[in-house]
Structure 1
Amino acid sequence: MNTKLHNHPSEQQAMVLEDLSPLARISSFIRSRISDNTTLVWLPAVWNTCGYADILEVKQGEILVAAYPFLDAHLEQLGRDAHRYHLEEATNLDESVIYSSLVRYSTAWDTDHDGNIESGTFLKMILLLPLLKQMGVNILYMLPVTRYSTINLKGDIGSPYAVQSMFELDPNLHDPLLDDMTSITLNDEMSALVAACHLLDIKVTVDFIPRVTARNSDLIRNHPEWVYWIHNEALEGFAPPPIPELDFFEECKPDKLETVYRSGETAAFLAKFSLPPNDLNEELWLQLKHRSQETGEELLHLIEEEMGITTAPAHSDWINDVQPIWTDITFLRLYADNNPLVEHLIKPDQAPYVLFDTIKCNYYPAKKPNRELWDLLIEGLRFNLNTYGIDGFRIDIGHVLPVPLLDEMFDVVKSIKPEALLISEDLFNRNHQKAAAVGYNIMLGSGWNIMTDITKDNLTEYLRELPQLAIHVFACAETADTPRITSRGGVALARMIAVLNGFLPNAIPYITTGFEMNEELPLNCGLGDNTDGADIPRAFFNRMQIDWSKSESMIPLLSELHEFKSLKRNLMDAEKFFVAESPEHVVMYGYMDEEERLICCFNLSGDQAVELSLAPFRNVDAAWKVGIDSHFRQEQLSSAALSANKVKLQPYQAIIFTC
């Protein structure tokens, strides 16, 4: 972190700082263009957090500004704001808020009004940081920012999870405003964003993808045996075999192996796999590899055309899952052999294959680790930490990795960053002890599932288990993999759930980018899909933008939640947490000690108002006050009603009371 930016540098100081950090060099470059009033951009008015005054035109939530003076003003403000913060090595997770960003989408905008959405960039992401701080964000979690494949596209631009290189960034995240800055690299632009976050006491974590890679991954050129291959004719309709003897969405535990491998369609599925090209025909493989290098032709296409095989699309590790096949990615082959438990269930000449069990190397490790691949994955972690200065990782489907590999990965991360944030993708709270024992300090958990079909019983059970968790979980209404909460009940439900998630023990409020603007279109719908497979735009695969021009957003409510919560830190202890008995359609929880009460009330009904009493929680020496009300246009509760402990909740209303 460049602490000298805490003092706004003069032009002479900026020249001195130029060699010290990418952020300082970018700031100096932008300042050198401050007289350029011809490079004009349209931007969302809400991004103008520093109150830049030289606005040329205002139009439906947008402003037209000269790009360089506008950026310079915001970087100046960043330097001034930095005085208010200090970056601690250890993150207090009880006081944290996570913002999940897909950078290309979070700051995408049609800046020149030509009808085309320009990609979000690392530079534009810096403009969002003051908004994130307003909402209490102190952890920025970035979905993949690496270079991804542009073949076998899902949607019109493809998935960021189809990682083609873990050591290169997505070139679309470069900002054209820095084109003339010849000394800057894309790595520098990412590092500048991280440094800007650190100035505001925001830790940065990124998605790390160790289990899958793009089907035409850069790794194939030198190590085709590191992925799985199938015959071309098997590609159309490729899918794991249905196992009618087992239930829907069933986990492949060891006692299920015999059933899976003896099931009717499993043998035909295994026959679809092929040896890798270098083992199938080494001479032809070398010729194709040389030809690709000489002509620039796509190597995977040459293999498909000349050898009749292709990389196997990836699929879920859950038996009888309805998730569609991931046609743009393939699994990495972490072991050179098979788990001993399945040796008697497959043919001796079986080609390397993927099935529900082989994906889960945590349950089914083999005897011969692909050591060179493991070392490369570990080097990828080291590269991210040392190159960009980030603070941790979310390990994509890390719960299926071999335990020895995960241990090595975490040892390396913690040797470089002892207080690293390590986020598990595990989907269920019941696995909290296992995730904590492995070394994670945050996990996704069950919140997303509870919000898929909100019922009082499910929500109450979820609330009661939170104080006992050994690890912090996401407190979320939605994730990048689920539909938007607004698509389940509109803005009123989203606001109520935002309040509900703001005050939970061992749970970190989690904002999926776009949630703060009441977005309805999802990033993805892989979990809890409510679209019935509808072909709707999804930010994982399509060029999209958040509607930052809306007149009403969630930002004031999220900011209010953060400010109010900061006043109640001492009360909000897991040992003081309770879930209260409540009327039908209502959930109530809170915190209580001898001096203070905080009662959170939520009407889960979207069409019925509900009356309830606060009398059981009353501190006789104090009057009830309304701390937070989720409704946009609040009707003030009368002092008489509060004195009588009588409360009426409107549909999808949340109110927090204190006394």
Structure 2
Amino acid sequence: MVRQNKLEAIRAFIAGRRDSAVAPIWIPSLWNVCGYSRAVEEKNGEICVHPYDFFDTHLNYLLERSKDYTFQEKTNLDDSVIYSSLVRYSTAWDTNHDGEIESGTFLRLLLLLPMLKQMGVNILYMLPINRYSTLNLKGDIGSPYAVQSLFHLDPNLHDPLLDGLEGLTIHDELSALVEGCHLLDIKTVVDFIPRVTAKNSEFIKENPEWVYWIKNEALDGFAPPPIPELGFFEECTPDKLETVYRSEATAGFLSHFTQPPNVLNPALWEQLKARSIETGEELLTLVEQEMGITTSPAHSDWINDVQPIWTDITFLRLYEDFSPQVRPYLQPDQAPYVLFDTIKCNYYPAEKPNLALWDKLIEAVQFNIDTYGIDGFRIDIGHVLPTPLLTSIFETITKANPNAILISEDLFNRNHKKAAATGYNIMLGSGWNVMTEITKDNLLGYLQELPDLSIHIFACSETADTPRITSRGGVDLARMIGVFNHFLPNAIPYVTTGYEVNEVQPLNCGLADNTSGADIPRAFFNKMTIDWTNGNPMRLLLEQMTAFKKAHLALFRPEHFFIAESPADVIVYGYRQGEESVIVCCNLSNEATVSVDLASIQPGISSYVVSIDSSITGEQPGQRLAAAQLSPNQAIILYHNNLEVQ
């Protein structure tokens, strides 16, 4: 198929089958944004529908809705909401009620787009959608970050409803999703993984020297060396290099590494490659069995980090030599290795770039742009890439799309100037970390940073790598902190898939884990569904906040922002321009009702109209108040306009 009109080709195929004799399927009622009225049955938050008839109705509804929007080349980040989707999970469902969860697909994600648009979403950020490895599985389906190929998509994201559409590829299905997004003026961003690859990466077949290798006997208990001379979770800065390399355990760790198989025994390597092609046996397994070596598991770049190693991925070898800064500490025959400093190629570049690998990574970026029309990228651990490589990646992206969205994974607001200077326009930031402990001091410190940021950050209390906010304090806390996050300066409301229905189960808990290491299902590794049948979803609150913000968008500027004095356990911030004011008032206590004297917030304003109430009952909107009684974990949005009062 040619790139254009793949969505139309799919729509026509589905329309041609709407009267076909196929079994009905069950889907969540919330997905029925199009108002489909021919459900066979409805119960317990689900509807039973004829699949082709339903999808035809929905796609026609999507096309009709598109008339309300014009695709904007440049994204207004002050008027944006990001939705983060793990595609295989966002629309996973037991559609046949046979106890088997079916993977989410690109086609099914089209069902969510009108609902996302109502929530204000204009950036769909997809976690890895590439083909990933099932070797050394984590959980029952494996991690999407164990990317095996940058040029192939996860085959599970193909929708069986499209079987029989001649010439269709899974690449076309992603292109159709991108087209659908663009019809509703939603940009598409994908995760790009340039620093690590699956342990049995597709690269290994032709270029085993592009990754790192260790002896088999080192695999059991493999971990970076402890550095007792240094503290917990310390960054490997140049002043610590000698301490790291002189520490007792480091020499033993370095001795685990070995040359790649094509260097160790070129003839045997070629034999194993030929055997793998002929028999279909896993090449890495053959190397392990016949040569006694394997690819090195990846680990954190932080010294004395407690995170476990990542057994399903390995680092890409971006340089052919060692950094001059560490050569004095190495033996002459040292094999290529990974340690805290070698991971951070931005700080410790060597002198011989692996240019063939760099070219392949840049080619993969161009492939995403040319094949799917992707609008931007989140660069996975991009802050540790060699500066020249990252610059080349950015130049490739911005040459194709000067308005591309470029997201940094940097976890600290303090690095905002560096991220902006590098070329990013959004960064993750530290909100998720601040909100692991929701106290007044933490939130005030966070608020004070925001107006002066050089780059927009995610406004969120949870990400795909953290526990759910609902698991920390329940639905009321999630709704209150959702209000707090929605109106922050230089911050973009960020919705982790499932947040809109108060999902409790996490995608992952790699950051700020509150499970004490419990073996619980996680969508990164296990076949799971979002609780789309939740009776009190967050979605309507998100829609209300989006509508209110759009109605007063000019007011929500950093230069109009202020933080007000407030009682204990209450946060009050707001915006004022001329005759208009908006106040965000949040009770952080989960136990006490708090009284707030609204007349004391700003001189000359004695009362405000309640515009939004985070409580599920939402009884206060429309009332004019001079004082507010905030229930535990309740937030309200207050509005005042002097002209209206007069």
TM bucket normalised to smaller? over 0.9
Report the AA paired with residue 646 of structure 1. Answer: A
User: 2:106 aligned to 122, 127, 142, which one?
Assistant: 122
- Give the 3-state SS of the residue equivalent to 1:148 in structure 2: coil
Residue 219 in structure 1 maps to residue 200 in structure 2: no
Residue 599 in structure 1 maps to residue 580 in structure 2: no
Q: How far apart are 1:39 and its partner, in Å? A: 3.2
Q: How far apart are 1:331 and its partner, in Å? A: 0.1
**Distance in 2 of aligned mates of 1:635 and 1:160:** 43
User: 2:245 aligned to 253, 256, 261, which one?
Assistant: 261
| Residue equivalent to 1:657 | 638
User: 2:306 aligned to 297, 322, 329, which one?
Assistant: 322
Deviates more, 1:613-622 or 1:49-58: 613-622
| Residue equivalent to 1:184 | 168
Residue 648 in structure 1 maps to residue 629 in structure 2: yes
Report if aligned partners of 2:475, 2:502 keep a CA contact under 8 Å in 1: yes
| Residue equivalent to 1:519 | 503
Q: How far apart are 1:634 and its partner, in Å? A: 3.1
Q: How far apart are 1:628 and its partner, in Å? A: 1.1
**Distance in 1 of aligned mates of 2:157 and 2:438:** 37
- Pick closer, same or farther for the CA change 1:227–1:621 going to 2, 3 Å: closer
| Residue equivalent to 1:8 | none
| Residue equivalent to 1:90 | 74
| Residue equivalent to 2:440 | 456
**Distance in 1 of aligned mates of 2:2 and 2:45:** 36
| Residue equivalent to 2:391 | 407
| Residue equivalent to 1:633 | 617
Q: Which runs of 5+ in 2 are unaligned?
A: 641-646
Q: How far apart are 1:155 and its partner, in Å? A: 0.3
| Residue equivalent to 1:13 | none
Report if aligned partners of 1:492, 1:653 keep a CA contact under 8 Å in 2: yes
Residue 68 in structure 1 maps to residue 49 in structure 2: no
User: 1:341 aligned to 306, 325, 329, which one?
Assistant: 325
Q: Give me the TM-score of the superposition, normalised by structure 2.
A: 0.98
Report if aligned partners of 2:465, 2:510 keep a CA contact under 8 Å in 1: yes
List aligned pairs for 1:460-479, cutoff 5 A.
460-479=444-463
User: 2:83 aligned to 86, 93, 99, which one?
Assistant: 99
Identity %: 65
Q: How far apart are 1:275 and its partner, in Å? A: 0.7
- Pick closer, same or farther for the CA change 1:589–1:471 going to 2, 3 Å: same
| Residue equivalent to 1:200 | 184
Report the AA paired with residue 308 of structure 1. Answer: G
| Residue equivalent to 1:372 | 356
**Distance in 1 of aligned mates of 2:602 and 2:442:** 27
Report if aligned partners of 2:599, 2:605 keep a CA contact under 8 Å in 1: no
Q: How far apart are 1:182 and its partner, in Å? A: 2.3
**Distance in 2 of aligned mates of 1:331 and 1:637:** 53
Report the AA paired with residue 647 of structure 1. Answer: A
**Distance in 2 of aligned mates of 1:457 and 1:19:** 52
Report Cα offsets for 1:22-78 as digits up to 9, x if no partner: 101001100110112533110000100011100101120000000001000011111
- Give the 3-state SS of the residue equivalent to 1:52 in structure 2: coil
- Give the 3-state SS of the residue equivalent to 2:508 in structure 1: coil
**Distance in 2 of aligned mates of 1:205 and 1:557:** 25
What stretches of structure 1 move > 6 A for 4+ residues in a row? Answer: none
List aligned pairs for 1:472-511, cutoff 5 A.
472-511=456-495
**Distance in 2 of aligned mates of 1:20 and 1:658:** 46
**Distance in 1 of aligned mates of 2:389 and 2:408:** 15
Q: How far apart are 1:256 and its partner, in Å? A: 0.8
Report if aligned partners of 1:18, 1:28 keep a CA contact under 8 Å in 2: no
- Give the 3-state SS of the residue equivalent to 1:358 in structure 2: helix
Report the AA paired with residue 420 of structure 2. Answer: A
Report if aligned partners of 2:599, 2:607 keep a CA contact under 8 Å in 1: no
| Residue equivalent to 2:343 | 359
**Distance in 1 of aligned mates of 2:289 and 2:622:** 76
**Distance in 1 of aligned mates of 2:492 and 2:256:** 44
Report if aligned partners of 1:251, 1:319 keep a CA contact under 8 Å in 2: yes
Residue 558 in structure 1 maps to residue 542 in structure 2: yes
Report if aligned partners of 1:597, 1:617 keep a CA contact under 8 Å in 2: no
| Residue equivalent to 1:43 | 27
**Distance in 2 of aligned mates of 1:383 and 1:637:** 49
Deviates more, 1:20-29 or 1:465-474: 20-29
Report Cα offsets for 1:148-189 as digits up to 9, x if no partner: 001110000000000000000000000000011122110000
Q: How far apart are 1:619 and its partner, in Å? A: 6.8
Q: How far apart are 1:652 and its partner, in Å? A: 0.6
Q: Which runs of 5+ in 1 are unaligned?
A: 1-16
- Give the 3-state SS of the residue equivalent to 1:570 in structure 2: helix
- Give the 3-state SS of the residue equivalent to 2:553 in structure 1: coil
Q: How far apart are 1:542 and its partner, in Å? A: 0.4
Report Cα offsets for 1:186-232 as digits up to 9, x if no partner: 00000000000000000000000000000000100000000000110
**Distance in 1 of aligned mates of 2:603 and 2:123:** 36
**Distance in 2 of aligned mates of 1:597 and 1:360:** 46
**Distance in 2 of aligned mates of 1:197 and 1:484:** 26
**Distance in 1 of aligned mates of 2:540 and 2:174:** 29
- Give the 3-state SS of the residue equivalent to 1:39 in structure 2: coil
Q: Give me the TM-score of the superposition, normalised by structure 1.
A: 0.96
Report the AA paired with residue 167 of structure 2. Answer: S
- Pick closer, same or farther for the CA change 1:286–1:621 going to 2, 3 Å: closer
Deviates more, 1:451-460 or 1:336-345: 451-460
Report if aligned partners of 2:609, 2:622 keep a CA contact under 8 Å in 1: no
Residue 571 in structure 1 maps to residue 555 in structure 2: yes
User: 2:366 aligned to 382, 388, 398, which one?
Assistant: 382
Report the AA paired with residue 361 of structure 1. Answer: C
- Give the 3-state SS of the residue equivalent to 1:415 in structure 2: helix
**Distance in 2 of aligned mates of 1:442 and 1:19:** 29
